[in-house]
Amino acid sequence: MLPRVGFLGPAGTFTEEALLSSASADAVEPVAFATIYDTVVAVRRQEVQWAVAPIENSLDGSVTVTLDLLADEHGDLEIVGEALLAVKHSLIATHQVALGEIDTVISHPQVPGQCTRLLRGELAHARVLPASSTAEAVRVVASGGVRGQAALGTRLAADIYGAAVVREGVQDHDDNVTRFVWLARHEPGVEDRAQDVSRPPLRLCEDTGDESRPIQWKTSVVFWGSGAESPGWLVRCLDVFAIRAINLTKIESRPQRARIGHYMFFVDLQGSAREPAVAEALTQLRAVCEHVRVLGSYPAGADPSGS
């Protein structure tokens, strides 16, 4: 029996594309879920061994539901892999229609921010409604048969559900990329996470023999603490990486969902938590912060542009 991997469904979503592009199709059994929340919780409930979830888009920023699930009080999720997917959105309807006939556009809430030129320009007259995924939006439009309805989704979804592509490449920029993470269940209290979780069957550079693209490691961390109220606290936190020449590829704050003005900080850095410099930096960070959680060390995804 193949290990099960959860993804945001139904068939034809970008998440499914990211899953299939980063792991061999004959090595896993993809399992569709209705929402990102359901996909991630399925790992906690051990309904699937791994889950693939979007975490960041180059145009629209972070997928906050994924960040919040990683940082919540359970502490039982770990990032074990990453996939970067070039995202191209299509405007899809039941039949070929003029843009002036479209009065409703349906898509995942993260997508309209990536297609603002179209929605604020030629489709400024249309209302925008949310769907649980881009593929679900296409399925709803295709099954509804309403001429004035359209969806923002993938050409694959249009083919699957028998809809018509009205216009391809409607995203604001051609270099639109979404970052997805592979998630596994981690038992809280186990210090050596690398020994605690199984690694997914990702297509890595060492597997293909492409020595020109050696595997690069990335580590994700979330931290917060009462010291955040004092001047210079965040600088002291980040300085533990700077003095060791550890490059940070991302830093973002999210509310702690407590009192206003209290935040947690997400950091992505180059390198594995097992490397001496990174391990020292994390030890020093724990001396400055009340709470530090390593969300995972994992192979960084390959740039879909090939650069």
pLDDT at 206: 43
> Hey, where are the domains in the chain?
1-86+177-186, 90-167, 215-299
More confident residue, 306 or 241: 241
Residue 193's identity, in one-letter code, is R
| Mean pLDDT score of the chain | 90
pLDDT at 179: 96
**pLDDT tens-digit map of 73-114:** 788 999 999 999 999 999 999 999 999 999 999 999 999 999
DSSP assignment letter at 23: B
Strands 4-8 and 29-33: parallel
Q: Which fold has domain 1-86+177-186?
A: D-Maltodextrin-Binding Protein; domain 2 (3.40.190)
Superfamily (CATH H level) for 215-299:
ACT domain (3.30.70.260)
Nearest to 165 by CA among 181, 154, 179, 178: 154
Q: How far apart, in whole angstroms, are the C-alpha atoms of residue 37 and residue 193? A: 23
Question: Which residue spans within the chain are E strands per DSSP?
Answer: 4-8, 29-33, 50-57, 61-62, 77-86, 90-93, 104-107, 127-130, 149-153, 164-167, 177-185, 217-224, 248-255, 263-270, 291-299
Q: Which fold has domain 90-167?
A: D-Maltodextrin-Binding Protein; domain 2 (3.40.190)
For 53, the token pair is 């979830």
For residue 109, say if its preceding peptide bond is cis, omega within 30 degrees of 0. no
pTM of the model: 0.88
pLDDT at 16: 94
Same fold, 1-86+177-186 and 90-167: yes
Q: Is residue 32 helix, strand or coil?
A: strand
Does the pLDDT value for residue 172 go beyond 50? Answer: yes
Q: How far apart, in whole angstroms, are the C-alpha atoms of residue 23 and residue 5? A: 10
Q: Which of 33-37, 200-204, 233-237, 270-274 has the lowest mean pLDDT?
A: 200-204
pLDDT at 307: 55
For residue 302, what are the CA distances in angstroms to 112, 131, 180, 207, 246? 26, 29, 12, 13, 20
Q: Is residue 292 helix, strand or coil?
A: strand
